[in-house]
A = this chain, B = another copy of it.
Amino acid sequence: MNSRLLMAGILSVCLAGAGQAQPAQPQSGPRQLPARTIPVPDTVSPQMRALIAQPVNPIWNVVPKTSAEWKALVAKNAAESIPAIRAMRAALHVKVEPAAIAGVKAYIVTPDVTPPANRNRLLLYFHGGGFVLRPGEAGLAEAIELAGFGHYKVISVDYRMSPDFPYPAAMDDAMAVYREALKTIKPKNIGIFGTSAGGSITLATVLRARTEGLPLPGAIAPGTPWSDMTKTGDSYFTNDGIDNVLVSNDGFWGAAALLYANGHDLKDPQLSPVYGDMHGFPPTILTSGTRDLFLSNTVRVHRKMRQAGVEAELQVFEGLSHAQYYRDITAPETIDYNSEIARFFDKHLGH
């Protein structure tokens, strides 16, 4: 109420234009913004400055028309990312072994030294990429980081993806691996994490485990989760074109959502977990960036969890677009991110 009175109160005072022109906007309603230029922030590391300064990711408005076109894009993207993944693995002294767990393809990612406190703990990791990108080794980046920086054993689940295996294949694979892990590891000793689509899988796994009467994991770390596939949430609009990783929902990512849903309701909490009931969730740490198209996807889950009494933490990285926080293992932000996630699991997982 103050702001309305404030506005009414200053009309008699002289106006002095200073700085950028703003359009007149006498009516209530949508915000009209003029064209503008947003500088690269100087409040981030040089490594992140370089990522933020990159042109917008040209994938954003690519919409493959056929299954073959989707697969060609996925294969080319994956092949080209492998050298960087292998370099990261070597730099962080992490061992990566392919495996099949309950029939699901996966990688067992092991640090060179596992501290005693982590010997009976296990992290399950789900990579991002719109439920279509980053099969195989291409999905390993964050698993390698948390093994290397956090000294955790991580199972990186190479879940089945679109276009051949739309929803619920990814969730079926996630649940199969989780059920298998429960056979040998105490639930309180299991952590689950993942970014973007992997953040959605992380949340949906907890929802489905509860529905199926399974014990819940000890803690989870959904990074900038794709918690709402319906383009609902303010940052889908405010950060459109500001985020240089996702750029916009209206192109590749919106198409990837429909490809994954394959006719299922996008508002089903298994696809858009922000619509799920968060009561009883384990301790959760959520991560985003101020330029992230999914900032609202992240903070909406955080608020909903807090309202449900969940011990939920939020961290938002200055200036970063979607998932940039884990993009450069030499950047202080990436080290900070991994330190926070490891600290959170250290604190909340059982021994």
Contacts and interface: CB of A to CB of B under 8 A. Distances in A.
A325 to B, nearest CB: 11
Interface string A188-231: 00000000000000000000000000000000000000000000
Nearest to A34: B35
Interface stretch (A60-68, A96-104, A154-162): A60-68
B77 A238 contact: no
A272 interface: no
Given A59-B10, A302-B315, A241 B18 contact: no
Size bracket, chain A contacts = 35 or more
Given A12-B76, A19-B250, A238 B291 contact: yes
A30 B25 contact: no
Interface stretch (A112-120, A262-270, A306-314): A306-314
A346 interface: no
Contacts of A319: 234, 296
Given A80-B8, A299-B316, A55 B43 contact: no
A245 interface: yes
Contacts of A176: none
Contacts of A318: 233-234, 296, 299-300, 303
Given A39-B237, A56-B25, A18 B307 contact: no
A307 B295 CA distance: 22
B61 A17 contact: yes
B315 A18 contact: no
A10 B77 contact: yes
What's the number of copies of this chain in the assembled complex? 2
B233 A41 contact: yes
B38 A232 contact: no
A2 B137 CA distance: 12
B58 A7 contact: yes
B18 A63 contact: yes
Given A34-B35, A38-B30, A61 B16 contact: yes
Given A13-B62, A238-B290, A303-B336, 12 more contacts: A3-B51, A9-B76, A13-B72, A14-B62, A15-B62, A20-B241, A31-B37, A33-B35, A43-B300, A233-B318, A234-B318, A300-B318
19 contacts: A1-B328, A2-B141, A3-B327, A5-B77, A6-B77, A7-B59, A10-B62, A16-B61, A20-B240, A22-B248, A28-B50, A28-B54, A31-B37, A31-B38, A38-B238, A39-B237, A235-B290, A303-B336, A313-B313
